[in-house]
Chain A
Amino acid sequence: MRRRISTSVSAAWWAMLGAAGLDRARWRRLPRTTRRAIKAAIWVVIGLLLVWGGGVWQWSALPMAAVILLLVVPRYDRLTFRGRRVGRFVVPTGVLAIAIAYPFYASSNGAVNPGMPQLPIFGPLPQMSTMVGMAVFAMMALGLNFVVGYAGLLDLGYVAFYAMGSYMAGWFASSQFAKQDVFFGAVGVTPGLTGFHFSIWLVLIMAGIATAVVGVIIGLPTLRLRGDYLAIVTLGFGEIMPQIARNGDSLFGTGFNLTNGTGGITPIDPPGFGNWIGHHLHLPANYLTLGTNSDRAFFWTALVLVLITIFTSARLRDSRLGRAWVAIREDEVAAAAMGVPLMRTKTWAYATGAFFGGVGGAYYASYNSGAFPDEFFFNISVFILCMVILGGMGNIWGVLFGACFLEYLDQEGLSNVGAWLNGHFGPGGSVFEVWHKTLQVPLYEFGIYGVIIVVIMLFRPEGLIPSRRRAAEFHEGVHDQPLYDTAA
């Protein structure tokens, strides 16, 4: 069925192009760069037309389109400078520059910048608080990508690592343990508050390490299991951890308050560099004192964390360990026969993934100034998994795209789409009243993710931006029969 659909789509496409005087043979004769330019130009024009027709048009859309064309069309890969292939850094640097500059354009004083174009249906470009969430979830999705994308192990309990990271921030950067009084480089603590108050930068590292240790503890007994059993066991851990968080205000009747129960731990100290560095290097001493600009600082910091994650991903992927992961993913038996230590390699994947989940969770807890147990549900595990699947398992660009897009949908996109739909087709709709009760689109968020997951797995299992190797595996099939008996 899926083959039939994709053939008919491509036939329709060629019929359209043929009408414009471009048939298949002529298309093939064109140079590759020209083909890319034509493709990109078609997409950009479609996008501009949509913005012009359905969104809010601003002339700033034209330079944006030009930047996109400039990034996509030329083949920078070939570019060399004194014999070094600097070309492959051009596009990432460009995207990074856009991301860094984005806060200056996105909003002015917390409101949507009126000079920016607005997309049809989706509305204005994301706000800064959304951008922080996108960066944090990009980090976590890249962390999950180590497990799911590289090593090919399905982890349905990634939320456990997120929770662990958040609670590490809650324990070591708040007044949760009020009987202790340890102060180490934290900023923005009200004088007189007790508890552990470590600097957030230290807490991030501590959270990452602690979460990685938890990952190893979970992984050691379970990673011997076959793929689908492993998925269920991780799901079990992902359910147990939040339950401990919810019930941890009086563990086993001892009255020891570990997690403050359903109330969660709040407030958590903000990040900051302290007065000395703030004075001498002009880095913000305390992010919360920046007022409406604090989200920018949070975003840029998150961006640094994402960059570290991307760097680690790329380097580990090409390392000995990364190649061992791919080998295990493709054929466990063959990998073991070639001398890849299965358990150790899998545990490393698990620990690395957990590390970034923990750091992301701790940072997000600091941004939200709290670790609340009702954030940690199975849904979040699937949310992050959906990011990885949508973008493309094993591909850094893909995972980044998936994470940004889905987190945007979660924070703003769905409610914007819902408002648009209700405004046009809802009660008293401007086009035609199709339904008569206000449709609450965000309520169906996870149903939409479910549809995304199913559709992607059926029609394009390698994701929107695939890694070439993963795509081949999905289309040719791999041996994923287990080597080890699951019994002890």
Chain B
Amino acid sequence: MLATLLVVGLVAWLIANAYVDGPAYFITIGFIGLTNGALYALVALGYTLVYGILELINFAHGDVFMLGGMFSATMILSVFHLKAGASVGALIAAIVGSLLVAMAACGVLNVAIERVAYRPLRGAPRLAPLITAIGMSFILENIAIAWKGPGYTSVPSVLPHSAVFTISGVSYTWEKLIVVMITLPVLLLLLYLVQKTRQGKAMRATAQDRDAAAMMGIDVNRTISFTFLIAGGLAGAAGIVYALYFGEIRYDTGFSLGLIAFTAAVLGGIGNLPGAVLGALLIGFIQAFNEGLTWHAPGSDWTESIVFSILILILVFRPQGLLGERTPEGG
């Protein structure tokens, strides 16, 4: 009932805004939301994968993503020497190269974190690994400070800003398309991996019941490590997308974006892969509309408050999320 009212009010607000600002502007904002959402999806999937298998909120995940951005910034700047206006071939080579390096580095980093900080605490009270995750998060942030300093690391805007297509005065630019072009194959690959492969089957089995999976001959530790590898890879991919699209990254980028992505994962139903993508897109749209629209929008000062309010409301009223199933644990 309340939720229906809320959705109706939201839609009315959106329509009013579309009317006030004109549809062209509205759609432009929508494109921004889509792009943000695609980025959030990559990070949110990492949260959801780890939560699904360990029931652990991997607090350090956002910071792994941030380090991924730093890795790719280093690759782009110091290895490929990419500058604005580079040729298409050089651009593609640099992006793919940096993507692979960042994914590999973050995957390995994530596995190492799991090995050091979470695995020794498997049998401990549930909050113990969460606390170490917070500690790891701070350690990673400080590694970033030591590496890149406390200021922003900027990446030149190498992505072309020309229009891909234009509908009634609204242009969809290449930079946004490239974000989606990096995100979509990674997502499809992940879905294939989890749904179709043997390793994915082991992951799903471990997520359902760790003991039973072990009895069926699944190497649980290896499966968990593999999950962290995948999640880290996703974070690395998100890192390069962020570095390319926003052009600057700082040690605390991962913390705030990680919390937004976590909210997205909870919104979609934590542990549920399509749910994480759906939640991320929704959050992306909400953020873009909040920051972009003019008619009675709270504005960017309040984005975090809105996102966290969504998080709190979802957890209190529908903890299984939009797509999640209701489990005895309520997760």
Chain A residues proximal to chain B, CB less than 8 Å = 1-2, 152, 154, 156, 221-222, 224-229, 231-233, 235-237, 239-240, 243-244, 246-247, 252, 378, 382, 385, 389, 443-444, 446-454, 457-458, 461, 473-474, 477-478, 480-482, 484-488
Measured between beta carbons, the chain B residues less than 8 angstroms from A486 are: 315, 319, 329-331
CA gap between A447 and B317 in the complex, in Å: 36
Question: Can you report 15 residue pairs joining A to B where beta carbons are below 8 Å apart?
Answer: A1-B120, A154-B130, A228-B57, A231-B130, A232-B262, A232-B315, A243-B302, A247-B301, A385-B131, A446-B141, A453-B135, A461-B128, A473-B125, A482-B329, A485-B330
Task: Return chain B residues, CB-CB under 8 Å to A443.
Answer: 145, 150
CB distance from B280 to the nearest CB of A (A): 17
> In the complex, which residues of chain B have a beta carbon less than 8 angstroms from the beta carbon of A484?
330
What's the minimum C-beta distance from A480 to chain B, rounded to whole angstroms?
5
Q: Pick the contact of B131 from A237, A244, A389 — CB < 8 Å?
A: A389
The interface of chain B, by Cβ under 8 A from chain A, is 55-57, 116-117, 120-121, 123-128, 130-132, 134-139, 141-143, 145-146, 150, 255, 259, 262, 266, 298, 301-302, 304-305, 308-309, 311-312, 315-320, 326, 328-331
Residues on the A chain within 8 Å of B318, using CB = 487
Residues of B within 8 A of A243 (CB): 301-302, 304-305
CB neighbours of A229 from chain B (8 A): 315, 319, 331
Complex: A252 Cα to B297 Cα, angstroms: 10
Query: Shortest CB–CB separation between residue A425 and chain B, in angstroms?
Result: 16
Contact B139 A225 (CB under 8 A): no
Main SS of chain B's interface residues? helix
B132 CB contacts on chain A under 8 angstroms: 453-454, 457-458
- CB-CB under 8 A from A454, the residues of chain B are 116-117, 132, 135-136, 139
Cβ B139 vs Cβ A447 within 8 A: yes
Nearest B residue (CB) for A378: B255
- The list of the 7 closest CB pairs from A to B, nearest first, reads A447-B142, A450-B138, A486-B330, A453-B135, A236-B308, A454-B135, A450-B139
Q: How far is the CA of A244 from the CA of B302 in the complex (A)?
A: 8
B311 touches A236 (CB 8 A): yes
Give chain A nearest CB distance to B271 CB in angstroms.
13
Q: Check A382–B138 contact: CB distance below 8 A.
A: yes
Q: Compute how far the CA of A216 lies from the CA of B259 in the bound complex, rounded to whole angstroms.
A: 24
* Nearest-CB residue, chain B, relative to A2: B120
Collect the chain B residues with CB atoms within 8 Å of residue A481's CB: 329
Residues B131 and A453 in contact, CB atoms below 8 Å apart:
yes
Contacts of A447 in B (CB 8 A): 138-139, 141-143, 145-146
Known: A233-B315, A237-B312. A226 touches B320 (CB 8 A): no
> Are A228 and B127 CB-contacts (below 8 A) given A240-B308, A378-B255, A486-B330?
yes
CA distance A240 to B308 in the complex (A): 7
Question: Does B126 contact A227, Cβ atoms closer than 8 Å?
Answer: yes
Determine whether the beta carbon of B137 is less than 8 Å from that of A450. yes
Query: Whole-angstrom distance between the alpha carbons of A378 and B134 in the complex?
Result: 11
Question: Which residue on chain B has the smallest CB distance to residue A481?
Answer: B329
**Are A233 and B135 in touch, CB under 8 angstroms?**
no
Q: Which residues of B contact A458 (CB under 8 A)?
A: 117, 120-121, 132
Report which of A226, A239, A457, A480 forms a contact with B304, defined as CB distance below 8 A. Answer: A239
Bound complex: CA of A487 vs CA of B325, how far in Å?
12
In the complex, which residues of chain B have a beta carbon less than 8 angstroms from the beta carbon of A482? 329-330
With known contacts A447-B138, A487-B319, A233–B305 Cβ distance under 8 A:
no
For A240, list chain B residues within 8 Å (CB): 304-305, 308-309
Chain B nearest CB, measured from A263 CB (Å) = 15
What chain B residues lie within 8 Å of A228 (beta carbons)? Answer: 55-57, 126-127, 130
- A444–B140 alpha-carbon span in the complex (Å): 11
User: Bound state CA distance, A334 and B95, in angstroms?
Assistant: 56
**A385→B301 CA distance, assembly (Å):** 27
Given contacts A444-B142, A454-B117, 11 further A-B contacts (CB under 8 A): A2-B120, A229-B315, A233-B316, A236-B311, A236-B312, A239-B259, A239-B304, A240-B308, A243-B302, A247-B301, A487-B320
Q: How far is the CA of A232 from the CA of B58 in the complex (A)?
A: 11
Contacts of A227 in B (CB 8 A): 126-127, 130
Interface centre among B55, B120, B142, B301 (most CB of A within 10 A): B142
